[in-house]
Structure 1
């Protein structure tokens, strides 16, 4: 399969693949952080919005939300889920907005979809440019030096009589600025079985490098990856939440 085939050819399965994700808890947590660190505004943009579940929760909470993604089939689903929102086909490393934003989000580690440090830096600069003063750029990220290649997550779901098993995990070769997200889907229909395997190249960085990229643009706050409590990062965890305020 091509690099992004999972998100285009199989976009109809994306929500099923992510059925275990608590989108509401994630959205609520970032709204709490935005209330603490933000400027009080409610103009929101979701980068790499996918099929729009986070956008849906922000709209329901009173935000004026929009989204962008590089895959049109995902945006088509998002538009049906959130007819009130504007969705555009754009690359998050080179995007424009018609109106300055109060909050820019990038959930589900999608910040890593920037292809290399140069594009990651461009994404940070574009987010800064798109925000109002006091606006917040939120994303979660993983430190390449703390990736365990043996760990993965797996779940099974039923859909229209078929049984799907989804599996995903990070992989880092130990050097360089590229890691990958390895994904597989198995579909069982009666006695027949099909399987898709895909590997998505993603930018790799450690948190020291990322903080150095962010600090020329933002006042940066880092938290443990916990959507139930607001806990400052202990500087040991390799999986954290970044809250970046434009000053």
Structure 2
């Protein structure tokens, strides 16, 4: 299967694939961070927004929220979920906006879809240009030096379309700027089971390397990957929440 074809071909099942994600908790946490670290403004943009579940929560909280993604089928569903929002087909590494934002988010480790460190640097620069003074950039990331290739997360969902099992895990060879997100989906309907495998190329960075890319543009706070509490990152953590204030 071609790279990223799974998200295009199975866009109808994307929300099922993410059914174990607490979008409200993630959105609420970033709204608190905006109050604590940001400029308090309400203009919000979600990068790699998918079908718009985070955007929905920001809208409901009073934000002027919208999103961008490279996948039109995802945005078609986002527009149904959030008819009052503005969505655009744009690459998050080269996007532009006519009006600046107070808050830009990138959830679900999607910043790694930049694929190379050069494009990641372009993404960071694009975000910086699109933010108001004192604006906030929030995203989560994984440290390439802490990836355990043996670990996979799985969950099952029953829907009218069948019984699904979704599995995903990071894979890093130990060198270079590429890691992979490996995905497996099984769909069982009656006595027939279909299986999809996919591998998405992602940029591999350590937290130190990521901070070095961010610091010319932002005041950077690296927090525990915990949407319930605000804690500084522990020494052994492999996942983190980055809170970046525009300089």
How high is the TM-score relative to the length of structure 2?
0.99
Q: State the secondary structure of the residue aligned to 1:154.
A: strand
Structure 1 position 93 matched with structure 2 position 62 = no
Q: Which residue of 1 aligns with 2:110?
A: 110
Counterpart-to-counterpart distance in 2, 1:132 and 1:60 = 22
Indicate the residue corresponding to 1:218 in structure 2: 218
Q: For structure 2, list consecutive stretches of 5 or more residues without a partner in the other structure.
A: none
Matches within 5 A, 1:32-181: 32-160=32-160, 162-181=162-181
The corresponding residue for 2:203 is: 203
Is the counterpart of residue 236 in structure 1 residue 236 in structure 2?
yes
Q: Deviations over 1:43-89 (max 9, x none)?
A: 00000000000000000000000100000000000000000100000
- Displacement of 1:144: 0.2
Following the alignment from structure 2 to structure 1, what is the Cα–Cα distance between the partners of residues 187 and 83? 31
What is the CA–CA distance in structure 2 between the aligned matches of 1:208 and 1:138, rounded to whole Å? 17
Cα deviations by residue, 1:126-152 (Å, 9 ceiling, x for unpaired): 000000001000000000000000001
Q: CA deviation at 1:162?
A: 1.1
In 1, Cα distance between the equivalents of 2:177 and 2:204?
4
The runs of 5 or more residues in structure 1 that have no matched partner are none
Q: How many residues align?
A: 247
CA distance in 1, matches of 2:115, 2:162: 35
2:183 maps to 183
SS state of the match for residue 236, structure 2?
coil
- 1:189-233 deviation digits (Å, cap 9, x = unpaired): 101110000000000000111111000000000100000101111
Which deviates more, 226-235 or 202-211?
226-235
Q: Where does residue 15 of structure 1 map in the other structure? A: 15
Structure 1: which 4+ aligned runs deviate by more than 3 Å? none
Report deviation, 1:236. 2.7
Deviation at 1:234, TM superposition (A): 2.1
C-alpha root-mean-square deviation of aligned residues, in Å? 0.7
Segment drifting more, 229-238 vs 125-134: 229-238
Q: Name the SS of the counterpart of 2:235 in structure 1.
A: coil
SS at match of 1:14: helix
